[in-house]
Amino acid sequence: MSTQIVKTLDSVSAFLKRSHGLYIDGGWVASQAAGSLPVYDPASGERIATTADASAEDVDRAVRSAHRAFTSGVWSRRLPAERERILLRYADLLEQHGEELAQLETLEQGKSINIARAFEVGSTLNWMRYTAGLATKISGRTFDLSIPVPEGARYTAYTRKEPIGVVAGIVPWNFPLMIGMWKVMPALAAGCSIVIKPSEITPLTLMRMAELATDAGVPPGVFNLVTGSGQVCGQALTSHPLVSKISFTGSTATGKGIARSAADRLTRISLELGGKNPAIVLKDADPQQVVEGLLLGSFLNQGQVCAASSRIYIEAPIYDSLVAQFESAVKGMSVGQGMDPTTQINPVASKAQQLKIQGFLTNAREHNAELISGASGPDPQGYYIAPTLVLNPDEALHLTREEVFGPVLSLTRVADAEEALALANDSDYGLTASLWTTNLAAAMNLTPRIEAGTVWVNSHTLIDANMPFGGFKQSGTGRDFGVDWLDAFTETKSVCIRH
Ligand code: TXE
């Protein structure tokens, strides 16, 4: 065994061995359901933990607890500065337990320990502190009104932003800790209570974060967590009548189903769904910047990133030379387990995801697509996919239009920027895109014509707490991050005063 492999902390081993329940009212409780769900290490396929498989009754208990906490005012009517201070303390606790949480994430999700430390822990800290600060910035506006009756009366109105109530947070498995905190933090900063459901594939880090919330001073019931399947636990949570808002990140198909059921009660929803994100490379682009930036943008977290670049359109004069550089980079990538910090490509998160990606590649081979692959994984039981380039895929290939969510990147030769733009926009998705050029006029002309919620120029996938993020078209509704983030977790109340 390589000496490079990070030694698992005793606290991580102890956490994995625990008998896990549901986090309700500030502590662990047993599920009323008999079943359980395994958690596997994607590097070996071995079971590393067992979690509860919550029933609809369990979910009802969690939502009622959150609702009681909300209506009691113990959090929702607390001074904003007190909420801010507790949430900042919560971030400090993540920092103190950073290595433990990074290791748990690598073990349940498969990603590199470097990425777990830098993103799941490091970036999440930035988001947590940014969002904690929003608790003290919630504000409305004042208005003079022109209502003419009764004669002589005057009216002044103002708006209040009030916490929306109980939030249901549904979290996927690609960045479980970070995306989980993208739901917990704005909900708590706004004064809401939350019931969060991690993915059944990767529940562990959020379970630990539930305990740390209590340690930070978040009152019992304000942050409840249920583990279970999407079909039972997720469905019961998103359709619960006491849930006022659903914040969902996941597949477009599941998101549409949740939107349909939310329509019955007009439950507020934010949906952050999939992407099939294009990159347009013009002939004047800096080749080194392109290759480095798009390797990161495409292969980070094995391509399991909703914002990942997955189809690259390159102007003909530089196509061959860029393909050669991508090929040599992909063939040189080291593949191995996430706990080995020297590896660049790690297993994907689940057997199901591995099979799904393999299906896309089989379909491409059946259509005689030109594929270039790097090394495969060391352990046949692990969920490895070799990093792969697909050259000039045609419409017959499923991967041309569908989200692969794996280390698979297509490179297509185009005649000019207009052809690239037409192909880039020819998608049901519209989450992110990037444009690579040193020509300022071209950048300014093209960015408004790209149909995507985020457009990067000369970078891709780099997000920030202060920059709104969300999708055009079927990539979702609503925006996360930025100074207006809490709007989605509040209702606006107009107060009209006659005087
Ligand atoms: O997602 P699901 P899956 C894409 C990616 C991936 C594909 C399938 O292409 O290959 O989706 O992944 C919960 N009511 N993304 O099947 O089903 C589920 O338990 C309520 C992109 O894992 O959307 C989990 O917690 N909840 C994405 C969460 O939804 C339900 C990240 C996501 O699972 C539910 C992940 C239901 N009926 C996958 N059914 C991104 N945007 O980053 C499932 N869930």
Q: Residue 458, by phi and psi: left (phi above 0), alpha (psi -120 to 50) or beta?
A: left
Could you give the residue numbers annotated as active site? Answer: 272, 306
pLDDT given at position 4: 87
- The Cβ-side half-sphere exposure at 339, using a 13 Å CA radius, reads 19
Q: Average pLDDT for residues 365-385, to the nearest whole number?
A: 96
Tell me, using a 6 A CB cutoff, whether residue 405 lines ligand 1.
Answer: yes
Average pLDDT of the chain is 97
Distance 124 CA to ligand 1 centre (A): 21
> Which atom of ligand 1 lies closest to the CA of 229?
19
Tell me, using a 6 A CB cutoff, whether residue 451 lines ligand 1.
Answer: no
Residue 287 confidence class, pLDDT cut points 50, 70, 90: very high
Three-state SS annotation for 329-361: HHHCCCECCCCCCCCCECCCCCHHHHHHHHHHH
> Which atom of ligand 1 lies closest to the CA of 197?
25
Evaluate whether 454 touches 469 at the Cβ level (below 8 Å). yes
Q: Average pLDDT for residues 394-399, to the nearest whole number?
A: 94
> Which atom of ligand 1 lies closest to the CA of 171?
25
Q: What is the pLDDT of residues 216-225, one digit of tens each?
A: 999 999 999 9
Distance 248 CA to ligand 1 centre (A): 9
Which residue is closest in CA terms to ligand 1's atom 12?
251
Distance 413 CA to ligand 1 centre (A): 33
Q: What is the pLDDT of residues 128-180, one digit of tens each?
A: 999 999 999 999 999 999 999 999 999 999 999 999 999 999 999 999 999 99
Three-state SS annotation for 263-307: HCCCCEEEEECCCCEEEEECCCCCHHHHHHHHHHHHHHHHHCCCC
Residue 384 confidence class, pLDDT cut points 50, 70, 90: very high
Distance 48 CA to ligand 1 centre (A): 22
Which residue is closest in CA terms to ligand 1's atom 24?
199
Residue 3 confidence class, pLDDT cut points 50, 70, 90: low
Q: What is the pLDDT of residues 61-93, one digit of tens each?
A: 999 999 999 999 999 999 999 999 999 999 999
Q: Average pLDDT for residues 195-203, to the nearest whole number?
A: 98
> Which atom of ligand 1 lies closest to the CA of 274?
41
Q: Average pLDDT for residues 33-62, to the nearest whole number?
A: 97
Helix (H, G, I), strand (E, B) or coil at 150: coil
Q: Residue 476, by phi and psi: left (phi above 0), alpha (psi -120 to 50) or beta?
A: left
pLDDT given at position 1: 45
pLDDT given at position 49: 98
The yes-or-no verdict on residue 2 having pLDDT over 60 is no
No. of helices (H) and no. of strands (E), the chain? 15, 22
DSSP string, 357-383: HHHHHHHHHHTT-EEEE-PPPS-TTS-
Percent above pLDDT 90 for the chain: 99
Structure tokens at 14: 């102890």
CA distance 184 to 83: 13
Tell me, using a 6 A CB cutoff, whether residue 288 lines ligand 1.
Answer: no
Distances (CA, A) of 431 to 72, 163, 193, 228, 235: 39, 28, 28, 28, 25
CA distance 155 to 55: 51
Q: Average pLDDT for residues 398-404, to the nearest whole number?
A: 97
Evaluate whether 272 touches 249 at the Cβ level (below 8 Å). yes
